[in-house]
Amino acid sequence: MGSRQDRRRLVRALLQDNVVSSQEQLASLLRVRGVSCTQATLSRDLRDMGIIRDRGPDGPVYRVDQRARYMEVLRQVVGMEITSVRHNESLVVLGTLQGRASGVAGFLDGWDNPRILGTIAGDDTVFVAPVHHSDCMALAADIQELALSEQELL
């Protein structure tokens, strides 16, 4: 089991079947199953897989962060709901599927994009205000990338 994908699949299974409170414990469980990796690799795997260290009833425990998975699925849906992205160097205007502007705007308000000051939504149009007018073109490109990456999945 040498591939990253196989290792990550095993990590997920181990976390579902065991209460794991440290990376050392997880590394030990992997070694028992014939997989060795560095602490840096394991740490990167956990981060990339959306696995967080949370507080359990008996102390710290690693678990899959469902919020991260939910946000990824939501990002994909929002990307499919955006039909056009335009800007006038002051404001980004998005076209959306009918009735979906509010959902798209809500996602963008919570999106981790430091260029977004805020949004206003109608029925099928979203106005996105950049933090600064010099951010407008880059913000439009960010949103266009969000929309295009999801269209490629279809």
Q: What CATH number is given to the structural domain containing 143?
A: 3.30.1360.40
Nearest C-alpha neighbor of 82 from the set 113, 128, 124: 124
Name the token pair of 8.
């990550």
Same domain for 41 and 90, yes or no, is: no
| C-alpha to C-alpha distance for 122 and 105, rounded to whole angstroms | 9
Which of 38, 64, 90 terminates a domain? The answer is 64
Is-contact 65 46, C-beta < 8 A?
A: no
DSSP one-letter code for 79 = H
Query: What is the per-residue pLDDT for 150?
Result: 55
Which secondary-structure segment (H or E) carries 119?
A: strand 116-121
pLDDT, average across residues 69-74: 81
Same domain for 11 and 52, yes or no, is: yes
Q: What is the mean pLDDT of the chain?
A: 90
Mapping DSSP onto H, E and C, the string for 24-53 reads: HHHHHHHHHCCCCCCHHHHHHHHHHCCEEE
Range of the domain at 53: 4-64
Identity at 36, one-letter amino acid code: S
* pLDDT tens per residue across span 86-112: 999 999 999 999 999 999 999 999 888
- Cα dist from 79 to 54, 69, 82, 89, 103, whole Å: 30, 15, 6, 22, 11
Same domain for 94 and 111, yes or no, is: yes
| C-alpha to C-alpha distance for 66 and 89, rounded to whole angstroms | 37
User: How does residue 154 score in pLDDT terms, banded at 50, 70 and 90?
Assistant: very low
